[in-house]
Chains A and B, each alone.
Chain A
């Protein structure tokens, strides 16, 4: 079975500061991992994904995530927050077959000017 834990349901950062969102997973098979972003009143959009290639994955809007098998983690970072980064972020792991995802509880990011 797969599960995802996101540490911190809310994160507040200043504009220009580092954004760090934490995600730990458990998986009975080699994991495929994802970060999705949800802007207010919208559906989710894919930020980036790890599918067993390079462990450092670059995504859209300056985000990147590093897969660390030994720590079962897939933390999301962005060096410098922008006001437009205010959104809710979801980490997810793909189940063994098909395209079924198990999502974490989400982290809402507030960016202060």
Chain B
């Protein structure tokens, strides 16, 4: 059971570099989302998608782009990394609907120098 798979697990970037965090799920979930986790702040929603071709902004979208071309994949792009984007990033998926259980990946720890 793969569930939600995130790659890479660790990444170090220099300010201004770009990269893509990968997220894939094999549960045929319509809903996928990206959160960032910072100490004392819990998790904050970056972007989310309710199905292929549909994305929307969450609480902290600035500096991040997403796309959803397939049900399975939901990559997160950092176009020009900044030190403020140093964080742990989690991808999560669920069936569509309020109150559904979120399935989380194991996270990507990103450091921007």
Contacts and interface: CB of A to CB of B under 8 A. Distances in A.
A61 interface: no
Interface string A29-66: 00010001000011111100101000000000000000
Interface in A63-109: 90, 92, 94-106
Interface string B66-101: 000000000000000000000000101010111111
Interface residues of B, number: 28
B42 interface: yes
Contact of B43 (A6, A9, A49, A90): A90
Contact count band on A: 20 to 34
A62 B10 CA distance: 33
Contact of B99 (A90, A99, A102): A99
A99 B107 CA distance: 19
A46 to B, nearest CB: 5
B41 A105 contact: yes
B43 A43 contact: no
A73 to B, nearest CB: 17
A42 B99 contact: no
Contacts of A95: 98
A99 B104 contact: no
21 contacts: A9-B40, A32-B98, A41-B106, A42-B107, A43-B104, A43-B105, A43-B106, A44-B102, A49-B99, A90-B42, A96-B98, A98-B96, A98-B97, A99-B96, A99-B98, A100-B58, A101-B43, A103-B35, A103-B42, A103-B43, A105-B42
